[in-house]
Each structure stands twice: as C-alpha cells, then as structure tokens.
C-alpha cells in the first residue's frame, strides 16, 4: 500500500480511537499519523540494499516494538494512554495493510507473479527477498502497473482515502 493509504487508514484509526476513548491533542494526532507511515521511510534504505522494502527488517514486528518503545520513551510523559495505544495500533495496522498486498498476489487476484514477504517472525525466521536491481520508486512501470495489477489494493486504498476525507470534513 502507498503511504497515502496508510495515512488515510491511520486517520480513521485516530478518529475511531478518539470516539471510543478520549480525543487526542493535535500533537498526539500528528504523532499517531506519522507512526502510521514511518515504516515506509525504509524505501530509501531499499534503494541502497537493492531489496523490496517490505522484506527489510524495518517492516517487522520487532522494528515496530523498537519504534514504539522509542516514541514512548521520548514523548511518554506528554502522551495519554490512548495515544500510546494508537501509536502501537497504527504501526501494526501499517504492517497488516502491507501484508494484504502479499495475500492479494497469493490469491492470484493480482497480475503479479510474486510480492515481497514481510518477515513476521524475524529474528526467528527470515524470508530472503530477491535482489531488486531497479528500485520501485524509480521505476516508472511500477506506477503504471500498480493500479492495473493490484486492483484489490487500489480499491481498498481509494475507499480508505474517501472515508478519511469524509471524516475530516464531517
């Protein structure tokens, strides 16, 4: 999923969390939104490592635990319990939404042969990714193929963005 979809999903999460518990402050909202997209900063690392970023160690539950612990240690005293829970939920939601791409490919709903695997069990088990000579973000065919081949992901992403925009203006 693209960062726009992650941001939209995280915004829906923020609104749901605020409705169930206490409303977040503006700074907490920004931090939760950033948490929902922060894992994709490894796109830069994937260029140098020549591997799909979903297969990097930065897209693992262990990385999520480390990011969440760091954020709570740094911002902890200023964060409500709701914000701490939503930051963790946003990080986990990111990984789950990325996993959907792999499921879409496995179910043969897409036009792709394979998708990079997320290493859910790292460090106990690692699925090695093939080398990616041309980084996806610099590959024009990726942007053309994405809407054509990953139709489920695009529909889901579009739905999430529409719901997030509706909630924002509601």
- Give the C-alpha separation, 106 to 13, whole Å: 27
**Min separation Cβ 76 and Zn ion, Å:** 25
Q: Which is nearer to Zn ion, 24 or 91 (CB)?
A: 91
Residue 128 class from Cβ within 10 Å (0-12 exposed, 13-18 middle, 19+ buried)? Answer: exposed
Contact between 42 and Zn ion by CB under 5 A: the answer reads no
Beta carbon nearer to Zn ion, 12 or 79: 12
For residues 162 and 134, give the distance between their C-alpha atoms in angstroms, rounded to a whole number. Answer: 32
Whose tokens are 């699925």? That residue is 127
115 vs 124: CA distance, rounded Å: 21
Q: What is the closest distance, in whole angstroms, from the C-beta atom of residue 25 to Zn ion in the complex?
A: 26
Positions in 113-132 near Zn ion (CB under 5 A):
none
> In this complex, which beta carbon is closest to Zn ion, that of residue 21 or of residue 99?
99
Of residues 94 through 113, those in contact with Zn ion by CB under 5 A are: 98
Residues of the shown chain interacting with Zn ion in the complex, contacts defined by CB under 5 A: 39-40, 98
């Amino acid at each position: 999923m693209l960062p726009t979809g992650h941001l939209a999903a995280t915004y829906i999460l923020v609104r749901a969390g605020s409705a169930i518990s206490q409303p977040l402050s503006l700074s907490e909202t920004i931090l939760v939104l950033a948490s929902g997209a922060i894992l994709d900063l490894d796109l830069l690392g994937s260029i140098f490592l020549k591997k799909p970023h979903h297969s990097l160690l930065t897209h693992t539950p262990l990385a999520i635990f480390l990011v969440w612990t760091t954020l709570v240690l740094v911002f902890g005293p200023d964060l409500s319990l709701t914000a701490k829970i939503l930051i963790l939920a946003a990080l986990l939601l990111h990984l789950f939404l990325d996993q959907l791409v792999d499921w879409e490919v496995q179910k043969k709903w897409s036009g792709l042969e394979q998708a990079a695997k997320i290493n859910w069990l790292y460090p106990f088990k690692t699925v090695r990714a093939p080398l990616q000579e041309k980084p996806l973000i610099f590959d024009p065919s990726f942007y053309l193929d994405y809407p054509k081949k990953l139709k489920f992901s695009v529909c889901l992403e579009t739905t999430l963005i529409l719901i997030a925009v509706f909630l924002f203006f509601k």
